[in-house]
A = this chain, B = another copy of it.
Amino acid sequence: KGGGGGSGGAKFGYEAAVCGGIPIINALQSCYAGDVVHEVMGICNGTTNYMLGKMETGADYSDVLREAQDLGYAEADPTADVEGHDVRAKIAILAKLAFGTTVPVESIPCMGITGVTAVDFEYARLLGCTVKLVGTAARLSKYGERDGALSVYVAPKVVPNSHLLASARGCGNAVAVDSANLGVASYTGPGAGRYPTASSVVADVRRIADGLCPPDPFPLESSIELDNDYTSNFYVRISFADSLGIVRRVGEIAERRGVSIHSILQNPIDDRGAADFVVTTEACKLSQVTGMCEDVAGEDFARGPPLCMPMLMEDFARGP
């Protein structure tokens, strides 16, 4: 009667594994049975969300990291949080639940928040946006239902202030699910902490005791193809030592890589030896924009490689 695993009838609940205080696993297991999920996006790491919130109000990355460590949010070795590895593990679980696809963690493109600086929040503000570390699992063809390949990735994302993901503050987590029948539904709450986590564990124990745990804790494996060279609009911040013709040069590189530029933003230049500007792109593939960034990094005027972040556009921004 219920062995230790295998086919012995063991029940497995893991509600606290992703977004500790948000019943997102239960929701994906039992509320989308007759629906088709297009996309799951989540802020699933409270530590980095806390840090980005502080940086939004002007604090410096290294100061904020030390503060998060002092508060016990960040580990002494913060790599798993700030490099996005924790979010990567969680979006793999959410992708499995939403799409039935086992995504090898190593195959998930993953960028953390270590390259994000105060100036990115300034440019984001010009765009009516903020920056959030987001795990995303999205079908390429939103309306193709079962025929679009699946992209899963982690990156700091430029998110419109009007989007519900922007409203996750402090250590709070938030998950948005876009589906054929419901449109966008969202779930917010505490991401971690002993009480939320314990509460989710108790709810699991109670469900198991009542026989209400799904017989298959993960959905059956689907045959959705993976394609992690995802498509998005991108934000590209180029740091440069000022000289003539930079915008023209960047334009040439973008054209060669097939990247169409949507807008160019530049703050007033205080220091001509250490300036930056931002290019936003039309929708293109990750490989195109990273190719463009590599080419730009090889130019004489470049001070290091550009910072490239996907942008969440308004069509997924409105919420219900």
Binding site for B on A (CB under 8 A): 15, 21-23, 26-27, 30-35, 164, 167-174, 179-191, 195-196, 198-200, 202-203, 205-207, 210-215, 318-320
Q: Are A195 and B212 in contact (CB under 8 A)?
A: no
Residues of chain B within 8 A (CB-CB) of A195 are 180-182
Does A30 lie within 8 Å of B207, measured CB to CB? yes
Contacts of A27 in B (CB 8 A): 23, 26-27
- How many copies of the chain does the oligomer comprise? 2
- Asked whether B34 lies within 8 Å of A199 as measured between CB atoms, the reply is yes
Contact A181 B207 (CB under 8 A): no
Q: Choose one: B15, B168, B205, B320; the contact of A173 (CB below 8 Å).
A: B320
CB distance from A239 to the nearest CB of B (A): 34
- Could you tell me if A188 and B23 are in contact, using CB atoms closer than 8 angstroms? no
Name the distance in Å between A140's Cβ and chain B's nearest Cβ: 22
Assess whether B203 is in contact with A214, with CB atoms less than 8 Å apart: no
Residue in A22, A33, A169, A184 with the greatest tally of chain B CB atoms within 10 Å: A33
A34–B203 CB distance below 8 A: yes
Q: Is the CB of A169 within 8 A of B319?
A: yes
Query: Is there an interface contact between B31 and A26, defined as CB atoms closer than 8 Å?
Result: yes
Residues of B within 8 A of A35 (CB): 199, 202-203
Decide if A26 touches B34 in the complex (CB within 8 Å). Answer: no
A164 to B172 CA separation, bound complex (whole angstroms): 13
Given contacts A23-B31, A30-B26, A215-B210, whether A319 and B182 have CB atoms under 8 Å apart is no
Q: Which residue of B lies closest to A212 (CB)?
A: B212
Cross-interface CB contact of A214 among B15, B182, B190, B210, cutoff 8 Å: B210
In the docked arrangement, what's the CA distance between A22 and B171, Å? 24
Distance from A206 Cβ to chain B, minimum over Cβ atoms (Å): 4
- Separation in Å of the A137 CB from the closest CB of chain B? 19
Residues of B within 8 A of A21 (CB): 181-183, 185, 320
Question: Assuming the A-B contacts A26-B31, A34-B203, are A319 and B172 also in contact, with contact meaning beta carbons closer than 8 angstroms in the complex?
Answer: yes
Chain B residues contacting A170 (CB-CB under 8 Å) are 320
Residues of B within 8 A of A186 (CB): 186-189
- A190 touching B198, Cβ below 8 Å: no
Known A23-B27, A167-B167, A212-B214; 11 more pairs at CB < 8 Å: A27-B27, A164-B167, A164-B188, A168-B320, A181-B198, A182-B189, A183-B189, A186-B189, A189-B320, A190-B320, A212-B212
For residue A104, give the distance in angstroms from its CB to the closest CB of chain B: 29
Cβ of B183 and Cβ of A190 under 8 Å apart?
yes
Quote the shortest CB–CB distance from A193 to chain B (angstroms).
9
Residues of B within 8 A of A214 (CB): 210, 212
> For residue A22, which residues in chain B have a CB less than 8 angstroms away from its CB?
185
Closest to A171 in B: B320
CA distance A34 to B15 in the complex (A): 13
